Amino acid sequence: MPAFYAAILRIMMMPNRLLPILALAFLSPALAADRPDLPIADFEGSDFGGWKVKGDAFGKAPTKGPVEGQMTVEGFLGTGFINGYHGGDDSTGRLESPPFKIERKYLNFLIGGGKFPGETCVNLIVDGKVVRTATGTNDRPGGSERLQWESWDLGDLSGKSATLQVIDERKGSWGHLTVDHFVQSDEGKAFTLAKEFTINQRYLVWPVSKDASEKRRFIMTLDGEEMPLLYSDIHLSNNPDFWVFTDLANYQGRKLTVTGKIPAKLASAWEKVAISATYPGEEETYKEPLRPQYHFSSRRGWINDPNGLVWKDGTWHLCYQHNPYNHGWDNMHWGHATSPDLFHWTEHAPALFPDEEGYMYSGSGFVVPSGSAGFPVKGNGGSAIAFAYTAEGTRSYLPGRKTEQGLAISDDNGKTFRKFEGNPVVPHIVAENRDPKIFWHETTKDWVMPLYYDRNEYGILVSKDLVKWKETSRYDIPTDSECPDLFELPVEGGQGSRWIAWAAQGKYMIGSFDGREFKAESGPHQHYFGSAYAGQSYDNAPDKRRVHFGWMRDTGAGLNGAPFNLQMTLPMDFTLRKSGDKLRLWAEPSVEVEKLRGETEQWKDFTFSDGDTDPLAAFKGGQFEVEAVIDADSAASGMGFRIFGEHLAVWKKADQSFSGAGGAQAPVDGKLHVRIFVDTVSLEVFVNGTYVSKYIRQTPGLKPVRIVAEGGEVKFDSLKIHRIKSVWK
Ligand code: FRU
């Protein structure tokens, strides 16, 4: 780490002896003398007022609002401010103030824009050295053009001559900075403050706002260590929409230091950040009106991709991309839950936190038998659980990091995970390289890692010891990307086996794999339709099962207002079958779902025409499954079901596909095998091996499910409707 950034990090970490002093300054405005503030620059004039300008980024004068192509800028004072967006993100430049004398304890200013230390920043220069530095708040698309207060304590520099630099040397997304209103004062506006706790309860609780525009970064360290346990951007709020928590179950008895920059106006929210046995709202968790009742969702926050799927000793592990602190994608942790049956989940503390390696992106889980790795392993039966993850790097608070692949190993059979000391095991390769899916290849006795590279391209890396990896080949999954899976399936009712190379949108290639190279025979074929994305299959599942979870994305249906967002698909078992003379992946809901069935109503061998009394008409909403075998040669041109009035799951004879579904495989022996699952906010349809999912609302007044028979009668071999019991009751 460059010495300069190490110094900044140390300032962020705040030596304990300084804390009480800062806390006092923060809480005691009375200490402020009655002297007036000393403005340095408010940028209200028609020029830069003696500041030297270089480059184009800042234009010719302070601006009075956003420049062309910029989002609304908020938070500046008066009408003018400094705006580095002239010429867009790619322009660069710098401004330098005339020298001034440091005559007050604090320098306050407003800052917004890109969060790139050294590239989009304000520097304070004393004796030719950068002695303080600050950035804006954004490092990814989206975000906010809001300027926020920053305060520097300049007590140690009193009487010195100083200059300010405003720097925009960054191109691309958020390659600009906005600043306003530099003023010396006896009172600070926003401080880096710290709190210390002994971790003697499970949670550190935070009151938050669902509005993402004013988040702040907090760094948490254990026992005064130099490197943080984790950092996260949290939307602390005096009037919380809900409370979230840092789950510290695995760090009991240790000392926690939490450091963050707190504006004076959030003093009361900061007061409430505390260690607690429960979090406010916990009694309502899993009972909220929008809570899925038999799909996995997290107690709090956002989830995306399933990660680290591995079965060991009777336990299914499900990790997931997770922001524990709000609705949106951010702060990527690996949340961790376990289940004996793929449905009843217990959420544990996250397995991986964002730390100096940056965000923890997607990856896999696998069982490591002792002797098969270049490091000792501990666990039941001499084998351990390990995870392969992507350290995204560039979103670390340390500059200069890149995306790399690392391992995390459990010494206690999957309860806690520690990062391997030899990380990264795969250094940066290309622009995007992520989502390692490691498995053991029995024939070559090698570990294999398919890894997403870029565009539609994936690499295959192999290793004897999980530590040293070598690329052996590359392959493409046309029109798809991210999150590879690679696994072998026997051909059902046929001969031999094939390998499936899978990508995030549910496109897959069928082919062969010799431990070095994947050779495609056909594809891409489409398996998923609707919202499912970024799925992967379990390592080491019993009975040679290939059990898969996807993530149900779809921000449009995000559960705004609820303290959690999005869910996993149903678990499904993959097999490989013949469809006509072609091989296709076939998905069935995992059999464990049948254990959740409550009352069932059923009908056999009947026909249904438009206008007939619908046997399902009296069925009330909630959680249920419709199971039907329909004769695809029925006279009707369209046959199936309508869910909550608007969602169709209907086989269209003319185009041999499912409307509202996106496609389906050919009828088997002239039959359509349909299973429809409705949970609180989701609809999933399995039809002859393909899978469709979407978010829905159970609109009161609309019938949960009706039979559709378009242009003739529909013949049913069987029709069943099952209540599905909640896994939370
Ligand atoms: C897929 C993905 C992955 C990445 C992760 C980050 O949804 O983009 O490629 O690892 O999400 O959250």
Atom of ligand 1 nearest to the CA of 321: 12
Structural tokens at position 550: 């996807």
Full DSSP string of 94-113? EEEPPPEE--SSEEEEEEEE
Containing 377, the helix (H) or strand (E) segment is none
What's the pLDDT at 556?
56
- Render pLDDT for 467-497 as a digit per residue (tens, 0 to 9): 999 999 999 999 999 999 999 999 998 789 9
Determine phi and psi for 723, rounding to 5 degrees: -75, 140
Separation CA 408–CA 364 (nearest Å): 10
Residue 28 amino acid letter: S
Any ligand 1 atom below 6 A from CB of 305 = yes
Cis peptide before 615 (omega within 30 of 0): no
Q: Which of 302, 304, 390, 432 to mutate to test the pocket of ligand 1 (most atoms within 8 A of CB)?
A: 304
Enumerate residues 6+ apart whose C-beta is below 8 A from 270: 193, 195, 236, 260, 262
Q: Report the percentage of the chain scoring pLDDT > 90.
A: 80
Structure letter (DSSP) for residue 37: P
Q: How many helices (H) and strands (E) does the chain have?
A: 3, 51
| Residues 6+ positions from 210 with CB-CB distance below 8 Å | 235, 241, 242, 326, 327, 560, 561
Residue nearest to atom 1 of ligand 1 (CA): 534
Work out the mean pLDDT of the chain and round it to a whole number.
91
689: left (phi over 0), alpha (psi -120 to 50) or beta: left
Q: Which atom, in ligand 1's list, is nearest to the CA of 482?
A: 9
List the structure tokens of 66.
């956003």
Give the pLDDT band (50/70/90) at residue 554. Answer: confident
CA of 533 to the centre of ligand 1 (A): 10
* Higher-pLDDT residue of 188, 4: 188
The CA–CA distances, whole Å, from 500 to 306, 409, 527, 612 equal 19, 27, 12, 45
DSSP state of 116: B
Q: Strand pairing partners for 315?
A: 312
Q: Which of 360, 364, 432, 434 is the pocket-test mutation for ligand 1 (most atoms within 8 Å of CB)?
A: 434
The residue contributing the CA closest to ligand 1 atom 8 is: 482
CA 628 – CA 674 distance, rounded (Å)? 5
Q: Which helix (H) or strand (E) holds 505?
A: none
User: What confidence category does residue 702 fall into, taking pLDDT thresholds of 50, 70 and 90?
Assistant: very high
pLDDT of residue 11: 43
Q: Is the CB of 685 under 6 A from ligand 1?
A: no
Element housing 228 (H / E): none
Mean pLDDT computed over 220-229: 90
pLDDT at 12 over 70: no
Rounded CA gap, 130 and 563, in Å?
42
Q: Is 319 in the pocket of ligand 1 (CB under 6 A)?
A: no
pLDDT tens digits for range 515-538: 999 999 999 999 988 899 999 999
Global pTM exceeds 0.75: yes
Residue 321, ligand 1, Cβ within 6 A = yes
Ligand 1 and 392: CB distance under 6 A: no
Take residue 80 and report the two structure tokens written for it: 């003018």
pLDDT at 313 over 90: yes
The amino acid occupying position 206 is W
Give the bridge partners for 408, in sequence order. Answer: 387, 419
**pLDDT computed for residue 486 by the predictor:** 98
- Least confident segment among 8-22, 112-126, 438-452: 8-22
**Atom number, ligand 1, closest to the C-alpha of residue 435:** 10
Angle at 571 between CA 566 and CA 572, to 5 degrees: 130
Cα separation, 72 vs 302, whole angstroms: 26
Cis omega (within 30 of 0) on the bond before 39? no
Atom of ligand 1 nearest to the CA of 329: 12
Pick the atom of ligand 1 nearest to 483's CA: 9
Under 8 Å between Cβ of 79 and 64: yes
Q: How far is CA 388 from CA 107, 229, 274, 364, 708, in A?
A: 45, 19, 33, 5, 47
Structure tokens, 419: 């990062």
Please tell me the distance between residue 305's alpha carbon and the centre of ligand 1 in angstroms. 7
User: 32-50 pLDDT, tens per residue?
Assistant: 457 899 999 999 999 999 9
- Cα gap 602→596, rounded to integer Å: 17
Q: How confident is the model at residue 661 (pLDDT cuts 50, 70, 90)?
A: low
Question: Which of 321, 452, 533 for a ligand 1 pocket mutation test, highest count of atoms within 8 Å of Cβ?
Answer: 321
Decide if 554 contacts 565 (C-beta within 8 A): no
Instruction: Identify which of 361, 394, 455, 552 to mutate to test ligand 1's pocket (most ligand atoms within 8 A of the CB).
Output: 361
Q: Cα of 362 to ligand 1 centre, how many Å? A: 6
Element (H, E) at 656: none
What is the whole-number distance in angstroms between the Cα of residue 443 and the centre of ligand 1? 31
CA of residue 222 to ligand 1 center, whole Å: 28
What letters, b where the CB count within 10 A reaches 16 and e where it falls short, cover 378-390?
ebeeebbbbbbbb
Confirm if 301 and 323 have CB atoms less than 8 A apart: yes
Burial 225-244 (b: 16+ CB within 10 A, else e): eeebbbbbbbbbbeebbbbb
Phi, psi of 664 (to 5 degrees): -160, 165
Is 361 near ligand 1, meaning CB less than 6 Å away?
yes
Residue type, 447: W
Give the side-chain half-sphere CA count within 13 A for 623: 18
Distance from the CA of 494 to the center of ligand 1, in angstroms? 36
Buried b (16+ CB within 10 A) or exposed e, 694-725: bbbebeeeebbbebbbbeebbbbeebbbbbbb
Q: How far is the CA of 364 from the centre of ligand 1 (A)?
A: 12
Closest CA to 207 of 230, 235, 247: 235
For 96-146, what is each residue's pLDDT tens digit?
Answer: 999 999 999 999 999 999 999 999 999 999 999 999 999 998 887 777 899
**DSSP code for 541:** -
Degrees to nearest 5, angle at CA 661 with 320 and 698: 70
Average pLDDT of span 164-190 = 95
Lowest-confidence segment of 176-190, 347-361, 654-668 by average pLDDT? 654-668
H-assigned helices in 273-402: none
What DSSP line would sit under 421-465, residue for residue?
Answer: TT--SB---SSS-B----EEETTTTEEEEEEEEETTEEEEEEESS
Compute the average pLDDT of residues 679-685: 94
Give the Cα separation of 319 and 336 in Å (integer): 4
- Which residue has tokens 């493409």? 476
Q: H or E segment at 268?
A: helix 267-272
Q: Residue 122 forms beta bridges with which residues?
A: 134, 166
Among candidates 462, 435, 466, which has minimal Cα distance to 451? 435
Evaluate if residue 26 carries a pLDDT over 50. no
pLDDT bucket at 605, cuts 50 / 70 / 90: very high
